[in-house]
Amino acid sequence: MNKPREFDQTVLAELQALLGDRVTTSSGIREHHGKDESYFPYAAPDAVVFPHSTEEVRDIVNICRRHRVPMIPYGVGTSLEGHVLAVNGGVTLDLSQMNQVIAVHEADLDAVVQAGVTRKQLNEYIKHTGLFFPVDPGADATVGGMAATRASGTNAVRYGTMRENVISLKVVLADGRIIQTSRRPKKSAAGYDLTRLFVGSEGTLGIITEVTVRLYPVQEAMSAAVCAFDSIDGCTNTVIQTIQAGIPIARCDIVCDKTIAAINGYKKTDYRVAPTVFFEFHGSAASVVEQAEAVQAIAKENGGMDFQWATRPEDRNRLWDARHDAYFACLQLRPGSRAVSTDVCVPISRLAECVRETMADAKTYFAPVPLLGHIGDGNFHLMLFVDPQKPEETDIAKQFNRRLVQRALAMEGTCTGEHGVGLGKQESLRAELGDDVIAVMRDIKRVFDPDNLLNPGKVVPMS
Amino acid sequence: MNKPREFDQTVLAELQALLGDRVTTSSGIREHHGKDESYFPYAAPDAVVFPHSTEEVRDIVNICRRHRVPMIPYGVGTSLEGHVLAVNGGVTLDLSQMNQVIAVHEADLDAVVQAGVTRKQLNEYIKHTGLFFPVDPGADATVGGMAATRASGTNAVRYGTMRENVISLKVVLADGRIIQTSRRPKKSAAGYDLTRLFVGSEGTLGIITEVTVRLYPVQEAMSAAVCAFDSIDGCTNTVIQTIQAGIPIARCDIVCDKTIAAINGYKKTDYRVAPTVFFEFHGSAASVVEQAEAVQAIAKENGGMDFQWATRPEDRNRLWDARHDAYFACLQLRPGSRAVSTDVCVPISRLAECVRETMADAKTYFAPVPLLGHIGDGNFHLMLFVDPQKPEETDIAKQFNRRLVQRALAMEGTCTGEHGVGLGKQESLRAELGDDVIAVMRDIKRVFDPDNLLNPGKVVPMS
């Protein structure tokens, strides 16, 4: 790896000449940009810049490249594997002021947005069109950040992840070239799929400045439900049979008994304390009723108890807010702790087995281990509480996570369903895909970023 | 470009030592492998080999690389842009004997197949499971070939293309390494998306030997319909409004009046001679009725006439067979001709305009110009008849196609919705994506194939 030169006054002066007061070296702002939602120690950049356009990003890239200064693209800092940490120092490009919706094409069901537009902002903006953008990782992340990390979340079982929902990207390359990866039609066979290569590249191959995303019609009817089960197997079997029956379920998330208890405490709800699945159905009024009845019948055969329904929008939102707040609710189980968030994903046929073995392992952990996950995709998260003041706790959590990843890999799973690699999953990635694949990824990284200046130290080690 | 050495007896002897009589230099077989369904002049390889395993493919690759002999992967030869033509000679790897279904995971809705398994073979194999593989480009192509060309077809509007339906690939790289691009879960954020990089790479980055694909439950009910319209605009507006209404239509294909007349002549059907849309609906019995009624109402408002329904499987198949045979039916319009098949795809909002201008242009063409296409995706094909004995006709067809591509690009479209780049679309690709993107694609090609031996001359020019 090329060691970056000391960040110096020349770089700062050039950036200031370009951006005026949209460059800062204030320690508070640098520190804020040197952390995400992960357990990693903070690593602040030397400066933070706030570009307003693709051309400004290009000019920043040109300055940084000439001075061999690392560049870290930043959205809102909600990643979970240390993606935005400036481990080699350098300049963080905070894209949150690039927050214009450039175009909405209602007939084509797509929108073009600057990278700093958040998913909630986009959905608010297009509300009147009867369309929505479905990818929902929980946090109100930026669309650019979501593209960069290949985000997914609760809707992926029906609407796919960012992989399926990004149509095209505008990207500034390390050498300052600006490319548009694809045209706007939903399908194309025009050469290598550069769009998908940048989706999930975590800022290491180029800086995404604009994203064209797919939109979907808001369906005539939606209904949501919560159902407790007598076992995790009951939950997974219900979802497997639902999907096999071709029922186009829009969302199905699982929480364990500890998580639902935490939700009850935090949200003043009174859900039964047992493994629980949150469902959502989208479709015509008749089809939603039909889907819901079919799933209820399947659930009953698999030990499902007392379906609680919510059809009015406010009730549905309250129900899913409870699920979305599960992370924060669980944090209250051990005040002052941070959480190491695990992220394995296995073929759904192995999910019950993987969860069962993992929960047995969790009995050895020094704190409660709540579970939540996107059961329809085979993806689940555990929250491994750690006291940031006690490094030995983080070590224990990491060892637990390593065992979990090994277990998932042995079941043909992946170490990361949706959080990405960042700093935290590089060894797991090697275990998952093998040395040859890592070597290929490094070759690709070298083509796009020969000086290793784009978010260095993430995804694949270059030294 | 490195000029390949003369194909010599040493190479042949090494291949024969490896494969015995599964190596041939017979001129009949070489010629058969030197053509596809396109209008390009034949270009036969020096030899054709028939490997049975990934390891044999690796050994072939190692022999060819050592002797700097080009390698062309071949499925069943149904590509339309000259993809499999051995323009620099070399060895064609016919993968049709790698036709084993390796695994079907019913609960996970996926299957692992060798590259030479055809889509019909796979669907026959899994018939008893109640699952199916949806991607249907018309021809009974191999799954490996479909992955390599990012194929799509009539079902893409609902089920996506090969981009969305390939989970993982086993690939032999140019240096003989064998990699598996991904694990088996449906989603993953594990590093750069190598799977999508190989999907659509047309054999130029590696040789795909195994494909893991998504499967879907056969729905409880299916129904199909044909509806004539008084204008092309009526067709496109119907489909736009159907999609915006969130109706999960499974298929919707358009044919023009000339095409439907050809179908009537070829299939002895009596469809009204007018712009026509073929529909198919999948879902529960109730939902299929509901979808069909909703679409019928939309069609009526847009000049749709006399919906003809088919719900029994044999009637549905007959109806879609008519659509599938449209290509051959149209060839009868000018016996002895071959067809230059165009493939632009535009945002659906521009489809009517693009078709209208193109049909006006078609009035200048020396032969009838039938149209057929995947209207829900904005993708349509014209058949430009040419007499292979008269090169001036092919020139006129190519000029027509060039104007069509320019028109589509001006409407934010792509030069190829599903046929790929091959030999025929390289200049269009440059016009579509620009010199910088072509340069990036060449850089990627160089990483994977530094000696330019993998299907040389396709996708991006290297010299």
Q: Which pLDDT tens digit goes with each residue over A206-224?
A: 999 999 999 999 999 999 9
Q: Are B324 and B377 in contact (CB under 8 A)?
A: no
User: Cβ contacts (< 8 Å) between A190 and chain B: which residues?
Assistant: 414-416, 421, 425, 429, 432-433
Mean pLDDT of A34-63: 96
Q: Do A306 and A399 reside in the same domain of the chain?
A: no
The residue behind tokens 């078709």 is: B355
Distance CA B105, CA A347 (A): 9
Closest in A194, A246, A441 to B191, CB measured: A441
Q: Do B408 and B385 reside in the same domain of the chain?
A: yes
Longest dimension (CA), chain B: 70
The C-alpha angle A226, A229, A235, rounded to 5 degrees, equals 85
Q: Do B183 and B229 reside in the same domain of the chain?
A: no
Q: Of B440, B447, B455, B462, which to mutate for an interface test with A (greatest number of A Cβ within 10 Å)? A: B440
Identify the band that residue A1 occupies on the pLDDT scale cut at 50, 70 and 90.
very low
Q: What percent of chain A has pLDDT over 90?
A: 89
> B109–A244: do the CB atoms touch at under 8 Å?
yes
> A443–B447: do the CB atoms touch at under 8 Å?
yes
Q: What percent of chain B has pLDDT over 90?
A: 90
Q: How far is B319 from chain A (nearest CA, A)?
A: 24
> B197–A200: do the CB atoms touch at under 8 Å?
no
pLDDT surpasses 70 at B3: no
Cβ-proximal residues to B314 (8 Å cutoff; 6+ apart), any chain: none
Q: Of A440, A448, A462, which to mutate for an interface test with B (greatest number of B Cβ within 10 Å)? A: A440
User: Cβ contacts (< 8 Å) between B287 and chain A: which residues?
Assistant: 283-284, 286-287, 290
Q: Do A101 and A203 reside in the same domain of the chain?
A: yes
Distance CA B408, CA B351 (A): 9
pLDDT surpasses 80 at B463: no
Q: Are B342 and B384 in contact (CB under 8 A)?
A: yes
Identify the band that residue A6 occupies on the pLDDT scale cut at 50, 70 and 90.
low
Alpha-carbon A61 to chain mean position:
25
Q: Of B158, B187, B350, which to mutate for an interface test with A (greatest number of A Cβ within 10 Å)? A: B187
A274: how many CB neighbours lie within 10 A of its CB? 21
Distance CA A384, CA A340 (A): 5
User: Cβ contacts (< 8 Å) between A182 and chain B: which residues?
Assistant: 414, 433
Query: In this structure, is residue B434 part of a structural domain?
Result: no
Which ipTM value was assigned to this complex?
0.96
Q: Do B111 and B186 reside in the same domain of the chain?
A: yes
Distance CA A89, CA A85 (A): 9
Q: State residue A244's pLDDT score.
A: 87
Give the Å distances, CA to CA, from A224 to A253, B332, B449.
Answer: 11, 55, 51
| Tens digits of residue pLDDT in B157-171 | 999 999 999 999 999
> A191–B433: do the CB atoms touch at under 8 Å?
yes
Closest in A183, A219, A349 to B107, CB measured: A349
Q: Do B320 and B247 reside in the same domain of the chain?
A: yes
Does the beta carbon of B182 lie under 8 angstroms from any beta carbon of chain A? yes
Identify the band that residue B249 occupies on the pLDDT scale cut at 50, 70 and 90.
very high
The residue behind tokens 């002797």 is: B67
- Beta B276-283 vs B221-229: how paired, if at all? antiparallel
The 3-state secondary structure of A182-229, one letter per residue: CCCCCCCCCCCCHHHHHCCCCCCCCEEEEEEEECEECCCEEEEEEEEE
Chain B nearest-CA residue for A204: B192
Domain boundary among A301, A322, A343: A322
Mean pLDDT of A284-310: 93
Chain A nearest-CA residue for B204: A192
- The residue type of B4 is P
Q: Do A263 and A180 reside in the same domain of the chain?
A: no
Q: State residue B6's pLDDT score.
A: 53
Closest in A110, A189, A347 to B417, CB measured: A189
The residue behind tokens 């609902």 is: B158
Which CATH number belongs to the domain containing residue A212 in this structure?
Answer: 3.30.465.10
Does the beta carbon of B423 lie under 8 angstroms from any beta carbon of chain A? no
Q: Do A258 and A211 reside in the same domain of the chain?
A: no
Query: In this structure, is residue A107 part of a structural domain?
Result: yes
**DSSP-H helix ranges across B271-350:** 285-301, 313-324, 326-331
Mean pLDDT of A271-300: 95
What is the number of residues in chain A?
463
Longest dimension (CA), chain A: 70
Distance CA A158, CA A164 (A): 11
In the stretch 219-248 of chain A, residues with CB closer than 8 A to chain B read: 219-220, 240, 243-246, 248
Structure pTM?
0.97
Which CATH number belongs to the domain containing residue B277 in this structure?
Answer: 3.30.70.2190
Give the Å distances, CA to CA, from A153 to A164, A252, A347.
Answer: 13, 10, 17
The residue behind tokens 């909600």 is: A78
pLDDT surpasses 50 at A98: yes
In the stretch 92-131 of chain B, residues with CB closer than 8 A to chain A read: 105-110, 130
| Tens digits of residue pLDDT in A315-330 | 998 888 888 889 999 9
Q: Do B305 and B336 reside in the same domain of the chain?
A: no
Nearest to B199 by CA among B228, B164, B249: B164
Element (H, E) at B101: strand B101-105
User: Cβ contacts (< 8 Å) between A434 and chain B: which residues?
Assistant: 179-180
Chain B nearest-CA residue for A107: B349
Chain A nearest-CA residue for B194: A197
Query: In this structure, is residue B429 part of a structural domain?
Result: no
Q: Are B174 and B61 in contact (CB under 8 A)?
A: yes
Dihedral of alpha carbons B79, B80, B83, B84, sign: positive
Give the Å distances, CA to CA, from B399 to A94, B42, B362, B379, B387.
Answer: 48, 21, 12, 20, 15
Domain boundary among A187, A217, A247: A217
Count A/B contacts: CB-CB distance under 8 Å.
Answer: 274
Query: In this structure, is residue A430 part of a structural domain?
Result: no
Q: Do B166 and B104 reside in the same domain of the chain?
A: yes
> B192–A183: do the CB atoms touch at under 8 Å?
no
Q: How far is A183 from chain B (nearest CA, A)?
A: 6
Q: Do A29 and A130 reside in the same domain of the chain?
A: no
Nearest to B447 by CA among A30, A109, A205: A205
Cβ-proximal residues to A286 (8 Å cutoff; 6+ apart), any chain: B286, B287, B290
Query: In this structure, is residue A443 part of a structural domain?
Result: no
User: Cβ contacts (< 8 Å) between A290 and chain B: which residues?
Assistant: 284, 286-287
Radius of gyration of chain A (CA): 22
> B189–A416: do the CB atoms touch at under 8 Å?
yes
> B196–A149: do the CB atoms touch at under 8 Å?
no
Q: Of A80, A155, A179, A183, which to mutate for an interface test with B (greatest number of B Cβ within 10 Å)? A: A183
Q: Do B112 and B208 reside in the same domain of the chain?
A: yes
| Tens digits of residue pLDDT in A341-377 | 999 999 999 999 999 999 999 999 999 999 999 999 9
Task: Find the Cα–Cα–Cα–Cα dihedral B130, B133, B139, B142, rounded to 10°.
Answer: -120
Both structure tokens of A394 = 């983080």
Q: Are A379 and A150 in contact (CB under 8 A)?
A: no
Q: State residue B451's pLDDT score.
A: 97
Closest in B179, B191, B343 to A436, CB measured: B179
Nearest to B151 by CA among B243, B57, B83: B83
| Tens digits of residue pLDDT in A439-453 | 999 999 999 999 999
In the stretch 353-372 of chain B, residues with CB closer than 8 A to chain A read: none
User: Cβ contacts (< 8 Å) between A419 and chain B: which residues?
Assistant: 189
Domain boundary among B191, B217, B243: B217
| Tens digits of residue pLDDT in B191-246 | 999 999 999 999 999 999 999 999 999 999 999 999 999 999 999 999 999 998 98
Which CATH number belongs to the domain containing residue B38 in this structure?
Answer: 3.30.43.10
pLDDT surpasses 60 at A57: yes
pLDDT surpasses 60 at B273: yes
Both structure tokens of A241 = 């049979």
Both structure tokens of B458 = 């396709």
Distance CA B184, CA A241 (A): 19
Containing structural domain, residue B33: 9-96
Q: Are A200 and A420 in contact (CB under 8 A)?
A: yes
Tally of domains in chain A: 4
> B179–A440: do the CB atoms touch at under 8 Å?
yes
Both structure tokens of B99 = 């036709």
Q: State residue B321's pLDDT score.
A: 87
Query: In this structure, is residue A289 part of a structural domain?
Result: yes
What is the number of residues in chain B?
463
> A187–B107: do the CB atoms touch at under 8 Å?
no
Q: Are A250 and A281 in contact (CB under 8 A)?
A: yes
Beta-bridge partners for A91: A47, A71
Query: In this structure, is residue B162 part of a structural domain?
Result: yes
Distance CA A137, CA A152 (A): 5
Q: Are B142 and B96 in contact (CB under 8 A)?
A: yes
pLDDT surpasses 60 at A3: no
Query: In this structure, is residue A431 part of a structural domain?
Result: no
Q: State residue B324's pLDDT score.
A: 87
Element (H, E) at B361: helix B351-362
Alpha-carbon A49 to chain mean position:
24
Q: State residue B5's pLDDT score.
A: 46
Task: Find the Cα–Cα–Cα–Cα dihedral B128, B129, B131, B137, rounded to 10°.
Answer: -40
Q: Of B81, B186, B218, which to mutate for an interface test with A (greatest number of A Cβ within 10 Å)? A: B186
